[in-house]
Amino acid sequence: MESVNEFIAALPKAELHVHLVGSASVPTVLELTRRHPGGPVPTTEEELRRFYDFRDFRHFAQIYEGVNALVREPEDVATLVTGAARDLAAQNVRYVELTVTPYSHHRMGMPMPAVTEALDLAAREAAGLGVRVGYIFDIPGEFGVEGARATLDHALSEPPQALVALGLAGIEEERPPYRDAFRDAFRAATAAGLHSVPHAGETSGPETIWEVIEGLGAERIGHGIRCLDDPRLVEHLRETRTPLEVCPTSNVRTRQVPEIAAHPLPRLLQEGLYVTLNSDDPPMFGTTLNREYQVAAEVFGLGAEDLAGLARDAVRASFLEEDAKRAIIDEIDRVPMPA
């Protein structure tokens, strides 16, 4: 298995589903607690790791919000991006589509131009580390109309240079009252040339996935694992080749799946669905993108060619231009297969 792990480490990769605040390493979070003391987030490594023991998805959302409240200045935003790029570079990630929730930074008093400037500066620094960054601005679903309006305004009036898409995250069960606001936001964003990449089918059923497909024009689905509850939806996803951003360890840590061996990844692949592997909120969940590939090998028995295929599919599902995709795929093809 060591040779497979070495192969995984050598694979050039794209990461399509990782959140800015959730990507903050333990040292980075502790640095933010020193900058901004007095909040609910623990100030030692041991306590912080215990803090990241989630009872369920709602508890995870509360913890995430506590960490998010430490991001109070544009410098903090840039620190998170460069920290994520450093961690990804160490895993041979060539390209990341990093999900940013600008509304949370607005609520902390940061003006849109300052957030954008920090994101632009950090993207240039990430490029110097060998990681190209694309940004996804996501609407925090539980903030409804105001969250949708503010996110869209930022995306259209003060976008960072690397903005590629609009997303929708948060607690899926709280979305229905705001359906029209989300539809309007995505309609305006896609008309302006942004892509549509909402979360769906993580904590709720297939109906949420249908809504983002039919109502939001989803081009990729964040998570999407509940699609298996609806054979008609599985057939639709298979026929349209709609990529799923699958995050196995995340689903276990937020109690959406009881244990890693029960994760539906193998069945998603058996159904012929378009699957990409991702880390979601890696330090919070005690994982990395490389670790997700290792889980696919160790727990689900995927071989080296299967893993390389997942890496290629992530690149193909990204919003990179075609020549940049081809360059990364050519790198993947040149990695020697393990003996």
Q: Which residues are catalytic?
A: 202
DSSP states along 257-322? SSSGGG-SHHHHHHTT--EEE--BSHHHHT--HHHHHHHHHHTT---HHHHHHHHHHHHHHS-S-H
Please answer whether residues 335 and 7 qualify as being in contact, where contact means their C-beta atoms are separated by less than 8 angstroms.
yes
Please answer whether residues 96 and 85 qualify as being in contact, where contact means their C-beta atoms are separated by less than 8 angstroms.
yes
Please answer whether residues 1 and 81 qualify as being in contact, where contact means their C-beta atoms are separated by less than 8 angstroms.
no
Burial of 217 (0-12, 13-18, 19+ CB in 10 A): middle
Strands of the sheet with 275-277, listed across from one edge? 199-200, 221-223, 244-246, 275-277
| Whole-number Å distance between alpha carbons of 173 and 205 | 10
Cβ neighbours for 27, distance < 8 A, ≥ 6 positions apart: none
Residue written as token pair 């694979």: 11
Nearest to 168 by CA among 221, 109, 98, 123: 221
Please answer whether residues 152 and 185 qualify as being in contact, where contact means their C-beta atoms are separated by less than 8 angstroms.
yes
| Whole-number Å distance between alpha carbons of 331 and 320 | 15
Please answer whether residues 118 and 70 qualify as being in contact, where contact means their C-beta atoms are separated by less than 8 angstroms.
no
**Angle 206-216/231-240 helices, nearest 10 degrees?**
40
| Whole-number Å distance between alpha carbons of 197 and 136 | 8
Cβ neighbours for 263, distance < 8 A, ≥ 6 positions apart: 225, 248, 251, 252, 257, 299, 300
